Structure 1
Amino acid sequence: MTPRFAEVIMPLPIEGTFTYSVPEELSSIVKIGMRVVVTFGTHRLYTGIIQYLHLIPPDTKNVKPIFSLLDEEAILIRPQLDFWEWMATYYMASLGDVYVAALPSGLRLENETLIRRNPEVDKTLSFSSRESRIWNAISEDRACSIQELIKRTESKHAVVWIKSLMDKKAVIVSQTITDTYKPRTISMVKAAFNKDNEQEVQTIFERLKRAEKQLSLLITYLDLSQLLSKQETKPVSKQTLLEKSGASVAVLNGLVDKKILQLYDQPVSRLTHEITTPLQEAASLNLFQTKAYQSLLDEWKTKQTVLLHGVTSSGKTEIYIHAIQKVIALGRQVLYLVPEIALTTQLTHRLARVFGSKLGIYHSKFNDNERIEVWKNLLHREGLQIILGARSSIFLPFHDLGLVIIDEEHETSYKQQDSAPRYHARDAAIMLAHLHSAKVLLGTATPSIETYQNALSGKYGFVELKQRYEGITLPRVASVDLKEAFRKKQTAGHFSDTLIEAISGALSRREQVILFHNRRGYAPYVECPQCAYVPKCKYCDVSLTYHKQQHKLICHYCGFSQPLPDRCPSCGNNSLKIKGLGTEKIEDEVSQFFPNAKISRLDLDVANTRKGFERIITAFEQHETDILIGTQMVAKGLDFANVSLVGVLNADVLFHYPDFRAHERAFQLLSQVSGRSGRKGKQGNVLIQTMDPNHAVLPQVIAHDYISMFRTQMKERYEFCYPPYYRLIVINLRHKDENTVHHASERLAKQLRKLFSDRVLGPEIPPIGRLHSWYMRTLLLKIESNRSSNAAKKMLKETIAELQAEAPFQSVQINFDVDPM
């Protein structure tokens, strides 16, 4: 047989694929998209994925074989691999980067180091007390993982003594691949006897005559299972049997010990929704929604992607539901993207009432086992047709995607910021839809500048929905001049008298209030009033945020923390001052002003788990909470019927951010948080506190004037060469040594200017110049939007490869952020 070869994607940030030979015994069963175990380097094992198979031998003679196959069928399907290739190319990442981002970690089997005793160990060897401790902890008959040995010896330094035993050839070290996925099971009960053997059944009843509790339990089992009837035997869970019989576990174990009943584990799905009511019909659309929906269908006849520009509380979700019904009726699948995990809580209930078990949820707050089950359900077509999820949902194995809905398409949360590939889920989802010949629906009240321009230019279809549901008018928005309020002593804490009176009025009418401030913690920093010392992170160039509840100073970037010092470490002064405002401090002040109000907070400090999100949102939805204080989480499409007032504590944080998108984002965030007010029943109110009441964005927010904001921003962006007129690529350099990264960035900028002239800006020290002990520099490359960026990306990569070939800069880490946010 002609030798076959496989190009394997490795879960490593390395360009390209790696060639492995396919063993003859695997040749007939190996397929593209399967996981394989391969060695990489000397002895390390990895889980790779086959990108494609071929018959062309590589140039090298030492081709390693595939160690083993992990799948009986591919876990990736062709559109996914095409999508991976596009993402790696467009976002200038490696296929390995995409692999790590795309697959749940449970499908990337972990490499584990195993330690076993050497059976040929020299018997005359002497061990130190710590070496003996490790030796004795290793089982004689099986290998142990390092984690097991650390646990058994209760020693954090076990690795040091394992190394010592290795040097003495007392232990053997090997690598293995471990599967972390564990299916959920429930304990079931079945008969351990032959029900058709009447004599055996009679004997069992005779044996239990004096064991009344066991006999009663057995009778309950027979009744529940219908084992002795002519009907089909029903499965019985251990929990149900114990509840119905009122018996204890000991009684059941007695029947198991007598081999009358038997326990076994049955796998069950984790994909359930807590909806107990029967499925409902989708709500009827009103006149304006019907018109918008019909326009949407008409636009899709000629356009793949359509923007639905609907004001807040106009009922866009009901239009989405009708569009979903149309698509799944054709047997196709739907991806419904939301920017914030908190949104899935409310939407899950709304969608599950209509679509039931056809709905699946997928986001990072679900544990790995739950995400794997969603993946496998889609892969094997086991019933899910609709996926509601955050940005990582774009990587799921859809067979026949018919519609992609991107709700709140303007949200920056759709952009992956931290690690490669730094993809934008909105843009990537549009490409995914293209690969499936699916339609795309972009929904928002405040479109991104780029999206709105695409709609106006005819690249996207365009549908408007200008009326709120049930004819409710848009909220009244007013600004409060904080500078003037402070001057006239019309404030208490960080609240103007105007805002306090408005909150008091809403509470007296039993209405709810949302208070928005986009900074968590108690205060952004503390300062010594005597020497102006500010505690900073040891590893990042940022001040530490004070968290009162933990009485700690915490870095929001790397997690470093320290107790709040009693006195200034610099001058010894014993009265450090807390400066600035965070959501925790707002909660403190509000509880003092309104001691009888029920107050909750929605930020990452209190809602860092899925249950945390759900608990806070459900409590506010059911009016168990009067005032909700939150960061930008509260601005992202949540629907609360009884909110009549929204207060913005300090809008200046949004106005003066050093970014060309600051004006656009301030408008979007203020408009969106305003839209949480007055959604049902009557017009709501919004009060925006600011030190800069003359800022240009405020009249646009107050008048709900998106068009004015769009026009002014387009004019500025044309003048200063920013999107949508130019594409941007940020080049990030980092190194542990500041001089090295400085010289590397200067050298790279010089080389790039030879190719791109004044389109290259920088190098600059970013706003945070050191993160996790890495010193940072950035360059910005601008490319005209009417020119292909592929050639520029190719030249950029070649230039960086030349730089990193030079000895001083080989250890400089360089990554790209294409279309940065």
Structure 2
Amino acid sequence: MKTVYFADIILPVPLPRLFTYEISEEWISNVEIGSRVIVPFGKKKIYSGIIYSLHDTKPEDYETKEIISVLDETPVVNEIQLNFWNWIAQYYMCTLGEVYKAALPSGLKLESETKVHYNSEFIAEEKLSPKENLVLDYLSENKTATIQDLNNLTDLKNSLPIIKSLLEREAVFISERLKDGYKPKTKKIIRLSEDYYKEQKIQNAFTDLGNAKKQLEIFMTFFTLIGGANPSNFAKSIDKNVLRDKSNASSTQIKELVKKGYFVEEEEQISRLTKSNDSLRGVHQLSESQQKAYDQIKTHFEDKNSVLLHGVTSSGKTEIYIHLIKEQLEKGKKVLYLLPEIALTTQITSRLKKVFGNELGIYHSKYTDAERVEVYDDILKNNNYKVVVGVRSSVFLPFDNLGLIIIDEEHENTYKQFDPAPRYHARDAAMVLAHYHGAKVLLGTATPSLESYQNAQLGKYGLVELFERYEGIQMPRIITVNVREERRKKKMNSHFSPVLVQHINEALENDEKIILFQNRRGFSPYLECNQCGWVPKCDYCDVSMTYHKHINQLTCHYCGNSYTLPRVCKACGSPSLQTKGFGTEKIEEDIKLIFPEVKVARMDLDTSRTRKSHETIIGNFERGEIDILIGTQMISKGLDFDHVSVVGILNADSMLNYPDFRAFERSFQLMSQVSGRAGRKKKQGTVILQTSNPDNPVIIDVINNNFNQHFHSQMEERKAYKYPPYYRLIYLTVKHRNQNTVNQASDYLGEYLRSVFSHRVVGPQAPTISKIQNWHLRKIMLKIEGGVSLTKVKDLIQDAITTLVSHPGFKATIVQADVDPM
């Protein structure tokens, strides 16, 4: 066997290649594919990378550097993951480094962190600028700081130019140190010193401590907590805080006993993840219709790898999932349960915990990075978690024995990653992941995506339909209200029609709950001057600022830029600035004015930023502590509430009129899903759908719960205009700081692509929002018909992008590819 001397490493950098490093003899016996290694990169950077392959071929084009160290005794990435990463990178036109950055929790990725140090020998020979003085004053006091520290603490958006100037004057110098993102959580424990493991020694200790009453009390409490002065208990340890509290002592008094040699104080690593001690329940018996669907799914799995479960809202799909999970665990397999929203995990995990207890793991972005590392580690090494509930990033966890992937609410566009790369779709990626594991996939939804339903129609997926709601609950009654007519007759009370107000009143009188849906957060989408028509826009993005009344600020929802509400128009000086449109915050304020005695809560991105906020709002609503819940699409799916008798959809038109070929599909899905929250237990619910166009075919299909009619009409349009699922789409977004340059670059790229792909190229054109964070954008769309090799298409696109960025005038241009955009 040949000796391995070189390793190809995946580094977290957006460069389209692997990097070969030399392995010194010191590390030869430690290296394994999938392990993390520390390597130098460039002149000063240090990264942790993943070993992709081992070989004995020295690169001819460059001198190799040596691996600095190996971080892991066993690999943190398995072979299936590496194959999966490869597929993601190739299919979604990104680099392995970008996949690596997305796939691993930050705590498992180490990067060098630039430190700026103060030069105490520096003498200023010429006058420094105020900003240079500010940075130097801070450094002279703190001696060292990161660039981020200097940005934050000196209120400078970018301190790099100042640091560069100070470096040239030799007032500061910089260094690199490795930044470790993950630190284990520990607690201090106290145990008996081995010198006192004999009973006679303990008797002597009691005698010796006779004059130190408090220390004697602590000593006696310790033995009480470990179960007595019995040799079988001597090796036991006690949490230092517990010992301190039980003996009413101080940490200093316990420390004295450690100093005297009676106790040993140690640090013990503990999990950040909570364990449940609740007793488990068995699975519920399925109803007749659920059992039929369950049997059909199992039958389909005999000859198909994927099944679409099309079940109306409240049909009991989750209970079918639980039975399928139970079956996989009995076979010794693991299950991945994907959800589109963190908000959904609260109720789903509560139900699953009652059945699967501590075998259930949770993985999403509201967990701290350290907690995500611990979940990742457990799946990799400990095997405690047999079922993992998570959002889209869960597809990157290190599973080794997957039997089933459940994709709940498979139609949701939140399964698609938009920024940064990889711009993957978790539903489609999960299909490939299942293939690598030899696992089955179940897609569940009340409103299938056109692509998935088409696959079921063509026989690629098995199709199981469940149109009976659990316990025979009726589908909600949907009443449309023509708000244009109501406004003309001056009957509207703010944004609420008389019909909606009447039904809210009746529900409140019957002690029932109400959900109001408005898919826009904030108080008002924009302000406008009544005199000259001026609208406040973001300084960095081509978008109007949204008004948030509770903080009295205008905020950009694209870059986060915000400033205080102006008192007068900046264009004409008039004080007549007026809010236009309405968001959830405005609805909340108006509802409180109309129903002052009612308990109201709002659930949107602004009220759900912390990890516990989702759970708190949902828990309060479940317990009846909230009468009216107002929310965005967060409340539109998957949540199961008792006693919700009325759902109000306040502005159906805003969804229908969105400039996107999927607008009608998404509108149908959102309206159907939010309608499904009504009447889920023992009583038919009512949905009040407010619109200016009650004759819109999508609204008629929602009222009639006619998915088939909606599907066929949309498919005809998609076919006529060459959109998915008949054609594959690839978007190319060209970005540059200069508007003229981005126009020239996108025109150049568009012409190049047209010479290769002809009529398949649409654009370039400015997107709806043509500037974000000072980057000017232009978009090119490619429509690729079926039967064409996508791999070949992507290679030709990559050649075109390389040609563009190699052009002297376009070197600073960025081109982002989005395959199968949403």
Q: Aligned with 2:764: secondary structure?
A: strand
Query: Do the aligned partners of residues 283 and 27 (structure 1) sit closer, same or farther apart at CA in structure 2, a change above 3 Å counting?
Result: same
Within 5 Å, give how 1:238-253 maps onto structure 2.
238-249=240-251, 251-253=253-255
Within 5 Å, give how 1:665-744 maps onto structure 2.
665-744=666-745
Contact 1:102 1:395 (8 Å CA) reproduced: yes
Aligned to 1:269: 271
Contact 1:308 1:442 (8 Å CA) reproduced: yes
TM-score, scaled relative to structure 2: 0.95
Contact 2:518 2:584 (8 Å CA) reproduced: yes
C-alpha separation in 2, matches of 1:96 and 1:432: 19
Aligned to 1:630: 631
Query: Do the aligned partners of residues 155 and 598 (structure 1) sit closer, same or farther apart at CA in structure 2, a change above 3 Å counting?
Result: closer
TM-fit CA distance, 1:227: 5.3
Within 5 Å, give how 1:433-472 maps onto structure 2.
433-472=434-473
C-alpha separation in 2, matches of 1:93 and 1:136: 43
Contact 1:137 1:152 (8 Å CA) reproduced: no
C-alpha separation in 1, matches of 2:710 and 2:153: 64
Letter in 2 for 1:110: E
C-alpha separation in 1, matches of 2:167 and 2:228: 59
Q: Deviations over 1:625-682 (max 9, x none)?
A: 1110000000121111121111011100111111111111110000000001111111
Within 5 Å, give how 1:56-67 maps onto structure 2.
56-67=57-68
TM-fit CA distance, 1:382: 3.3
Aligned to 1:803: 804
C-alpha separation in 2, matches of 1:26 and 1:269: 31
C-alpha separation in 2, matches of 1:637 and 1:338: 9
Letter in 1 for 2:558: Y
Q: Aligned with 1:28: secondary structure?
A: coil
Aligned to 2:295: 294
TM-fit CA distance, 1:175: 1.7
Letter in 2 for 1:749: G
Letter in 1 for 2:263: L
C-alpha separation in 2, matches of 1:747 and 1:126: 51
Letter in 1 for 2:812: S
Q: Aligned with 1:264: secondary structure?
A: strand
TM-fit CA distance, 1:749: 1.3
Aligned to 1:608: 609
Contact 1:545 1:554 (8 Å CA) reproduced: yes
Query: Do the aligned partners of residues 126 and 811 (structure 1) sit closer, same or farther apart at CA in structure 2, a change above 3 Å counting?
Result: closer
Q: Aligned with 1:380: secondary structure?
A: helix
Aligned to 1:314: 315
Q: Aligned with 1:549: secondary structure?
A: helix
C-alpha separation in 2, matches of 1:375 and 1:603: 29
Larger CA deviation: 284-293 vs 192-201:
192-201
C-alpha separation in 2, matches of 1:113 and 1:714: 54
Letter in 2 for 1:669: L
Letter in 2 for 1:442: L
Extract unaligned runs of 5+ from structure 2.
Answer: none
Larger CA deviation: 232-241 vs 260-269:
232-241
Q: Aligned with 2:195: secondary structure?
A: coil
Q: Aligned with 1:6: secondary structure?
A: strand
- Percent identity over paired residues: 48
Query: Do the aligned partners of residues 151 and 745 (structure 1) sit closer, same or farther apart at CA in structure 2, a change above 3 Å counting?
Result: closer
RMSD value, Cα: 2.4
Larger CA deviation: 60-69 vs 469-478:
60-69
C-alpha separation in 2, matches of 1:739 and 1:116: 41
Q: Aligned with 1:31: secondary structure?
A: coil
Contact 2:635 2:674 (8 Å CA) reproduced: yes
C-alpha separation in 1, matches of 2:780 and 2:665: 23
Aligned to 1:618: 619
Within 5 Å, give how 1:114-153 maps onto structure 2.
114=115, 137=141, 144-146=144-146
Q: Deviations over 1:512-536 (max 9, x none)?
A: 1100000000000011000000000
C-alpha separation in 1, matches of 2:54 and 2:31: 9
Aligned to 2:417: 416
Letter in 2 for 1:241: L
C-alpha separation in 1, matches of 2:213 and 2:522: 61
Aligned to 2:598: 597
Aligned to 1:490: 491
Q: Aligned with 2:784: secondary structure?
A: strand
Q: Aligned with 1:601: secondary structure?
A: strand
Contact 1:190 1:262 (8 Å CA) reproduced: yes
Within 5 Å, give how 1:733-812 maps onto structure 2.
733-812=734-813
TM-fit CA distance, 1:166: 4.7
Extract unaligned runs of 5+ from structure 1.
Answer: none
Aligned to 2:29: 28
Aligned length: 814
Contact 2:4 2:54 (8 Å CA) reproduced: no
C-alpha separation in 1, matches of 2:811 and 2:114: 30
Aligned to 1:657: 658
Q: Aligned with 2:315: secondary structure?
A: coil
Q: Aligned with 1:194: secondary structure?
A: helix
C-alpha separation in 2, matches of 1:418 and 1:162: 30
Query: Do the aligned partners of residues 535 and 380 (structure 1) sit closer, same or farther apart at CA in structure 2, a change above 3 Å counting?
Result: same
TM-score, scaled relative to structure 1: 0.95
Contact 1:137 1:153 (8 Å CA) reproduced: no
Contact 2:278 2:357 (8 Å CA) reproduced: no
Letter in 1 for 2:254: L
Query: Do the aligned partners of residues 132 and 411 (structure 1) sit closer, same or farther apart at CA in structure 2, a change above 3 Å counting?
Result: closer
Correspondence 1:82 to 2:83: yes
C-alpha separation in 1, matches of 2:429 and 2:87: 9
Aligned to 1:376: 377
C-alpha separation in 2, matches of 1:655 and 1:153: 46
C-alpha separation in 2, matches of 1:212 and 1:228: 19
TM-fit CA distance, 1:217: 2.7
Q: Deviations over 1:221-278 (max 9, x none)?
A: 10111352143454321233344334454543454454433432211112224x4420
> Where in structure 1 do 4 or more consecutive aligned residues deviate above 6 Å?
121-129, 151-162
Within 5 Å, give how 1:397-408 maps onto structure 2.
397-408=398-409
Contact 1:566 1:574 (8 Å CA) reproduced: yes
Q: Deviations over 1:123-165 (max 9, x none)?
A: 99989996985775577xxxx5536985999796987786567
C-alpha separation in 2, matches of 1:525 and 1:154: 32
Within 5 Å, give how 1:293-372 maps onto structure 2.
293-372=294-373
Larger CA deviation: 633-642 vs 442-451:
633-642
